[in-house]
Structure 1
Amino acid sequence: MTGASAAIHSICTHLFPRAKQILLSSDSEAVVPHPQEPQNLDDSSPASQFSLVYWPHQCEVIRDRIEHIDWIPTTPEPLYTPTGLEMTPPYQTPDKGTLIYLGEEANKNSCFMYSQVRGLCPLKQILHQKGDNTLIFEARFESGNLQKVVKVNEFEYQLTLRTDLYTSRHTQWYYFQVSNMQAGMPYRFTIVNFTRRNSLYKCGLRPLLYSEADAKKHKVGWRRTGNEIKYYKNNAGQGGRQYFSLTWTFQFPHDGDTCYFAHCYPYTYSNLQEYLVAISKDPVKSKFCKIHILCHSLAGNIVYVLTITNPSQSGKGTKRKAVILTARVHPGETNSSWIMKGFLDYILGNSGKAQVLRDNFVFKVVPMLNPDGVIVGNHRCSLTGQDLNRKYRSNVKKCYPSIWYTRNMIKRVMGERDVFLYCDIHGHNRKQNVFMYGCERKQQGKAPYAHPRVFPLLLSKSCPDKFSFPDCRFRVRKSKEGTGRVVMWKMGINNSYTLEASICGSKLGCRRSTHFDMKDLESIGQHFCDALLNYCVHNKEEHEKVVKQQARVNSKVLNSDVLGWDS
């Protein structure tokens, strides 16, 4: 261990002592202290039932589990078109209104200390007084994020998001519940503490709304909502920091309903566990998909790894190349989980194409790299307050276990077989379309099969109304050297990518100026498989044709990073 690594390890040992995880007794709801050493296992223990969900000890969590139905609109939902008449409500200090919701002060501690299962921290008294028409807000559930709500007037509310735990930054993701509403009235919500100057809300992105009444009566789920949408710099800046507001107006569909608002389609840790349990109990899928514990997170939550391949004849399995996919290193990029679900649905299916892929590859999949961040409703960080996608060079296993064990697993796989492709799936909050970041040396080899631009171009051909090859980038910037994509490339994986999907929608073809829905996101994972199948055929003539086609695209556009940053 280097001197720098030793110093970091010492700091982490002080800040993040061994988690004391408090388990619920199976016989009662009493708290049973039960210290557990996080099981740093690698492909060892099967996952066939729900694991308990662990939270930082100071987090208040309601006992009800929030569930939503899946629903796809019959036609793509259009982006919002500004009228030029949108209002820009100023930031109101709390004394100018009525404080009606105040989340737990989880950030009053400077670092994570220990975890416990949900529902064990006593809830504070609700500020709302029954008997009036004030909205009731709640966000103390998985992936929820809301710190404070001030009622400005009868139908106008000012919302403040909670920053990522143990940081003072990263406000983008939101997900909260509202009840006690009146149907048809002109409500206005204004979120006042965004920190990024640029936002897809400036490009027509609309918030998501879910109505429990509509889900129950009409089987309608998440849909876009909002008028008079405006994203703008506000007057709340202090200490040199600038803040930006998102405001929108809307009407609730039903009296006395329970509704939810979200930045993107939620996909929680419990959603993932439910999906994996179904796979493990499927008599067919469980034969070629093995689910194991890669490691435990800082809070003690399981990080799963899936191994997917068809049973091989004796001695032939070692010749299969590996494909490695990861997702959800950034908790607020929930669309990455829907893409991953689409990929898994396809590769675990019974189609001839899925069979061919499972015959030709061994897939290693880590579907949720940052379960702690997902659970607490963070946008970007883990419970260390750090961006895990900058820690792939770190040797500090205790602070960044999912990253350390993922990298270690990949190293082990590389010792056993060739790794054909690595891809980390993300969401993008400043650009539209789907695109990829790859890694390319200045003097890239001429072999078409080894060219890192081939796979993205094949994916663009498979998905022309969503995936934009001209938006792809292949420059390796110094600031990205700690990312999974660059570290895996330097470890020797030539086809090493970040797949980025806009939180908003597409600017291409018939999908121009429309939002992505859950089906669109899942289809990206399916098209990924199609492109992989086309690539693995080893059609040299087709690959040479692809390389020649991409060479005609303006290289200055392809290698420019001025349009945005990668994850």
Structure 2
Amino acid sequence: MNLSQTLRTTQLLLNFHDGQPVFILRPPSALVNFPRPRWPEECEVISDSIQHIDWEPPEPEPFYKPSRRESLLPAADGPGNVVYCSDFATKHLYFTRSRVGGSRGSTSCAKFLVTPPDISLEFESRFESGNLQKAVQVGAFDYELTLRTDLYTEKHTQWFYFRVRNMKAKMIYRFTITNLMKASSLYSLGMRPLLYSETAAKENGVGWHRVGSNIRYFQNCSEDANETNDAGDSLYSLTWTVRFPYDSDTCYLAHCYPYTYSRLQYYLKQITSNPAVASYCDVRTLCQSLGGNIVYVMTITTRGSSPAEVRNKKAVVVTARVHPGETNGSWMMEGFLDFLLGDSDDAQVLRDNFIFKVVPMLNPDGVVVGNYRCSLAGRDLNRNYKTLLKDSFPCVWHTRSMVERLMAETEVVLYCDFHGHSRKHNVFMYGCDRNSKLFKFQERVFPLMMSKNASNKFSYKSCRFKVQKSKEGTGRVVMWRMGIKNSFTMEATFGGSTLDDRKGTHFTTGDFKSMGFYFCDTLLDFCDPDQTKVAHCLVEVSTLLKKEVKKKMSKNLDTDGSFSMSDLETSTSGSNSSDSDGLPVHLLH
């Protein structure tokens, strides 16, 4: 049998467990592959391989404490000197086609107006998940930066990730991002940017860490009025100063710990190449994205059970990264998979009792090009789970269809989509109440249990259960209306914790991954045949809600005493994307 035949056939593998032979059927490896990322054809992509080591700081990194004397960027004498400009985003109004490696032409579109030993920094962002549009030197060590909006849109600037070189050690550099679009930010609440030094990684094993002083987030103002973009949205700026540790180093700056599509593919390769893990984990292609990148789906469960036992298993659906700039969702997903695919007794119990359907990266196109919220359709996928446009929104269309088929076979006991949040600290959940009268609150039990298992990271007080009209197209609400009673979004802050012994400190990748562990641990408690913990949580939820009712009634004396649980809550809105609906941009043209 030649190699091509081997790739297309099921293989019988022999392993040993406790000295006993165990036979495993491994499906054809050709059923899933890991090709290089595809980019829109107009995107210029450098050939450098960007990799970062995994590292955890020895102590939690504290929030920045403003001195109230932070200064703004001084006015420049003239327009400044453009030292980097990558303007491919202005060439096309909508997505047309993609190819591996992006544009076939030269990289002349990115203008570099400096060469060593000039004191100007050298900027670069034409790599996976990078999104710097322009850098203007307005002083010897001062730079104004413009982020590229999500491709084929005029908004969604929050995520940033770029490279700098040719720095002078110990000099104070100032960066000011001038076209942010959210009115508030965690940078006003102590969050600091992230820095990665290749020299520090190579010589000292130090990876991403928090840096920055003189941090301010403010609304842009001209002489006569507040500044807006072409769409009329107000613009805001983030400014901070930093000292680089080494001369002529290669450094990266980012909004959150990067997690690229290539990293996910590497992780999945390790799974598929491990026969032990492959015995209870299938990795398959769910669909191809609009840009032609593979959306992977994983099925994790113990095999070898009788057909009746398999039918009796309940299912759990977990997804992540529908918003590409929310990289913390991918770190939580990796922690979740590390636990579930591990060899612990608890992981075995979960695999024995549940069928897990996992889509680890819903929006690979957005991740590849460095978008913050949208796909290459120029729309927020998490407002389009009800779509009928299969070809324009394949990732969410196929995810919904997969869940519908699963629900026809068994009960889906829980659905959760992992996200990041830009305005609130801690980790918390958004769920869906039944819009019924008070004290029917089973959907609040799982989040409360999470808060007990991760008391210094997860805030139950920050959880919300109101179903807003603007969120009807989200995965959480659509899955709930399909009949999944426990349907959640788990939101992890870009910043850190305000709770217990972690109060006032940033989250690391390890913290995000630990939330995946806690999610599995809570699932064990939530579905334990002994429902004592669930019963206790129901009583506690009832007590908390009664207090909220009394508090509300004391403030609203004219009420008739009739409440829906959603009446007790404020809006869950934290994004500027609720209007990201309508036809995909390529169909409009």
Q: Shift of residue 50 of structure 1?
A: 2.6
Tell me the amino acid that sits aligned with residue 89 of structure 2.
A
Q: 2:428 is matched with which residue?
A: 435
The answer to whether 1:195 aligns with 2:187 is no
Tell me: CA distance 1:174–1:47, structure 2 relative to 1, closer, same or farther (3 Å).
farther
Specify which of 497, 500, 506 is matched with residue 506 of structure 1: 497
Matches within 5 A, 1:536-555: 536-553=527-544, 554-555=547-548
Verify the 8 A CA contact 1:46 1:292 in the aligned structure 2.
no
How many Å apart are 1:96 and its aligned residue?
A: 2.3
Residue from 98, 104, 114 that aligns with 2:97: 114
Give the CA deviation at 1:274.
0.2
1:499, distance to aligned residue in structure 2 (A): 0.5
1:481-537 deviations in Å (ceiling 9; x for gaps): 100000000000000000000010111001111000000000000000000001111
Partner of 2:16: none
Give 3-state SS (helix, strand or coil) of 1:340's partner.
Answer: helix
**Which secondary structure state, in structure 2, belongs to the residue aligned with residue 373 of structure 1?**
helix
Q: 2:234 pairs with 228, 242, 251, which one? A: 242
Q: Does 1:356 align with 2:339?
A: no
Deviation of 1:348 (Å): 0.2
Deviation at residue 234 of structure 1 after TM alignment: 1.6
CA deviation vs aligned residue, 1:65-91 (integer Å, no higher than 9, x gap) = 200000000110000000010012267
Which residue of 2 is the match for residue 560 of structure 1? 569
RMSD: 1.9
Distance 1:182 1:491 in 2: 58
Within the candidate set 408, 416, 436, 1:423 is matched to: 416
State the match for 2:54 in structure 1. Answer: 70
Taking the aligned partners of 1:485 and 1:503, their CA distance within structure 2 comes to 21
Aligned pair in 2 of structure 1 residues 46, 293: CA closer, same or farther (>3 Å)? farther
- Of 275, 286, 298, the match for 2:290: 298
- Give the TM-score normalised by structure 2: 0.86
Partner Cα distance (1:55, 1:96) in 2: 33
1:235: how far off?
Answer: 2.5
Question: C-alpha displacement at 1:127, in angstroms?
Answer: 2.5
Find the residue that maps to 1:537 and give its secondary structure. Answer: coil
Distance 2:161 2:215 in 1: 18
Q: Which moved more, 1:172-181 or 1:536-545?
A: 536-545
The Cα of 1:542 is off from its aligned counterpart by 2.5
Q: Aligned-pair distance for 1:129?
A: 3.0
Read off the aligned partner of 2:138 and give its amino acid letter. Answer: V
Q: Show the 5 A alignment for 1:154-553.
A: 154-235=140-221, 237-238=227-228, 240-315=232-307, 316-443=309-436, 451-553=442-544
Code of the aligned partner of 1:243 = L
- Runs of 5+ in structure 1 lacking a partner? 1-42
Residue 563 to residue 473, structure 1, CA distance change in 2 (3 Å): closer
Is the Cα contact below 8 Å between 2:125 and 2:163 reproduced in 1? Answer: yes
For 1:166 and 1:447, how far apart are their aligned partners in 2? 44
Q: Distance in 1 between matches of 2:296 and 2:282?
A: 10
**How many aligned residue pairs are there?**
522
Aligned partners of 1:55 and 1:299 also within 8 Å: yes
Q: Which amino acid aligns with 2:87?
A: E
**Are the structure 2 counterparts of residues 305 and 91 from structure 1 closer, same or farther at C-alpha, using a change threshold of 3 Å?**
farther
| Structure 2 Cα separation of the partners of residues 380 and 90 of structure 1 | 32
Using the TM superposition, give the Cα deviation of residue 545 of structure 1 relative to its aligned residue in structure 2, in angstroms: 1.2
Following TM superposition, by how much is the alpha carbon of 1:401 offset from its aligned partner in structure 2, in angstroms?
Answer: 0.2
The whole-number CA distance in structure 1 between the counterparts of 2:572 and 2:369 is 31
Residue 106 of structure 1 and its aligned partner are, at CA, apart by 1.7
Q: Judging changes above 3 Å, is the alpha-carbon distance between structure 1 residues 91 and 376 closer, same or farther for their aligned structure 2 residues?
A: farther
Alignment partners' CA distance in 1, 2:574 and 2:524? 29
Task: Tell me the residue number matched to 1:151.
Answer: 137
Supply the distance in 2 between the matched residues of 1:142 and 1:47 (Cα, whole angstroms). 25
Any idea what the Cα deviations from partners look like across 1:369-397, whole Å, max 9, x if unmatched?
00000000000000011000000111100
Give deviations 1:398-433, integer Å, cap 9, x for gaps: 110000000000000001111010001100001111
Q: 1:91–1:234: 8 Å Cα contact kept in structure 2?
A: no
Query: Could you tell me how far apart the structure 1 residues matched to 2:368 and 2:485 are?
Result: 33
8 A contact 2:116–2:166 mirrored in 1 = no
Shift of 1:550: 1.4
* 2:428 partner SS: strand
Q: Is the 8 A contact 2:134 2:147 kept in 1?
A: yes
Q: CA deviation at 1:153?
A: 1.1
SS, match of residue 331 in structure 1: coil
The 2-side partners of 1:535 and 1:519 are apart by 24
Higher CA-based Rg:
2
Cα deviation, residue 437, structure 1: 0.7
Contact 1:303 1:402 in 2 (8 A): yes
Larger mean CA deviation between 436-445 and 52-61 belongs to: 436-445
8 A Cα contact 1:59 1:121, kept in partner: no
Aligned to 2:3: none
Contact 1:430 1:564 in 2 (8 A): no
Shift in Å at residue 130 of structure 1?
A: 3.4
Residue in structure 1 matched with residue 79 of structure 2 by the alignment: 96
SS at 2:270 equivalent? helix
Q: Which residue of 1 aligns with 2:560?
A: none
Distance across 2 between alignment mates of 1:489 and 1:541:
26
Instruction: Indicate the residue corresponding to 1:19 in structure 2.
Output: none
Counterpart of 1:273 in 2: which secondary structure?
helix
Structure 1-normalised TM-score? 0.89
Asked if the contact 2:128/2:368 (under 8 Å) is kept, the reply is yes
Identity rate, percent: 52
Structure 2: how far apart are the matches of 1:278 and 1:60? 30
CA distance in 1, matches of 2:85, 2:150: 16
Per-residue deviation at 1:552? 1.9
Quickly say closer, same or farther: Cα 1:439–1:395, change in 2 above 3 A.
same
| Alpha-carbon separation, structure 1, partners of 2:358 and 2:300 | 8
